[in-house]
Structure formats: structure tokens, C-alpha cells
């Protein structure tokens, strides 16, 4: 069974760093792009970027370029989303998802993690 399991909720202060994780189970982790999606409180979904585990090549949404860093650890089938200096506006639910489509056209996330709630408050 395909599963994406994300790390737990985090409460941080502005200026702190953070890395959240997403581990893939039940499929060839190296063969599928992993994406990250943000949902701020009361708002819609936002595509943040995708990363190909085999090559560790990230593609960022223009809105998130320079704001976050995506990476992978191939040895443990994990993808990461990282902030070097959090802001209150980073408070949101963050989902990882597997790109199941044959091409990078229609946004085709077929399996999703359970989400990780990040709260940034002084």
C-alpha cells in the first residue's frame, strides 16, 4: 500500500529554522516526483514545488523560490521541506504528495501525506 507519512505538528518562533519530512512507503520512491502544497488558515491550496528523488532536482513555484528549500534523503526514502528563518505568515498546513501522472502537465497528485501543521508565533 502506497503511503506518505509526514512528521508531526510544529510550533516555532519567528526567526527559527525548521525542517519537516515526508517518508514514502509501498512504492519505488525514486521513480516519482514528490510535491509540496501549502494551505494557509481559511485559504485555498498553493503549489510550492516538486522534487525528483532520484536526481534530487527541485522545481520551485515562483511564489516560493528562495523562501523554502526542498531536499531528499535517498537512503531513507524521505523528502524534506525546510525554512531557514520562519515568519508568522508561514503558519499553515503543509502537505506532501506523490506525482502520479505520466507527464508534468495536469497537476496529478495521486497520494498525499496526512499534512503537517506549522504554527509560527512569538
Partner 1 sequence: QSALTQPPSASGSPGQSVTISCSGTSNDIGAYNYVSWYQHPPGKAPKLVIYDVNKRPSGVPDRFSGSKSGNVASLTVSGLQTDDEADYHCTSFAGTHNWVFGGGTKLTVL
Q: Does 5 bind partner 1 (CB under 8 A)?
A: no
Answer positive or negative: Cα dihedral of 95, 96, 101, 104. Answer: positive
Could you give the string, one character per residue 63-102, with x where binding to partner 1 holds by CB under 8 A and - elsewhere? --------------------------------x-x---x-
Rounded Cα distance, 14 and 121, in Å:
6
- Residue whose CB is less far from partner 1, 71 or 117: 117
Instruction: Please state the length of the chain.
Output: 122
Closest approach, Cβ 74 to partner 1, in A, equals 22
Rounded Cα distance, 72 and 11, in Å:
23
Rounded Cα distance, 9 and 3, in Å:
18
Contacts to partner 1 by CB under 8 A: 37, 43-47, 50, 59, 61-62, 95, 97, 101, 104-110, 112-115
Amino acid at each position: 500500500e502506497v503511503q506518505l507519512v509526514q512528521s508531526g505538528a510544529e510550533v516555532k518562533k519567528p526567526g527559527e529554522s525548521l525542517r519537516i519530512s515526508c517518508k514514502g512507503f509501498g512504492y519505488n520512491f525514486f521513480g516519482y516526483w514528490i510535491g509540496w502544497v501549502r494551505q494557509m488558515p481559511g485559504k485555498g491550496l498553493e503549489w510550492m514545488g516538486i522534487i525528483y528523488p532520484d536526481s534530487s532536482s527541485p522545481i520551485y513555484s515562483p511564489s516560493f523560490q528562495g523562501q523554502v528549500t526542498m531536499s531528499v534523503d535517498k537512503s531513507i526514502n524521505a523528502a524534506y521541506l525546510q525554512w531557514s528563518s520562519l515568519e508568522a505568515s508561514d503558519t499553515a498546513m503543509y502537505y506532501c504528495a506523490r506525482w502520479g501522472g505520466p507527464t508534468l502537465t495536469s497537476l496529478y497528485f495521486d497520494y498525499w501525506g496526512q499534512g503537517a501543521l506549522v504554527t509560527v508565533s512569538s
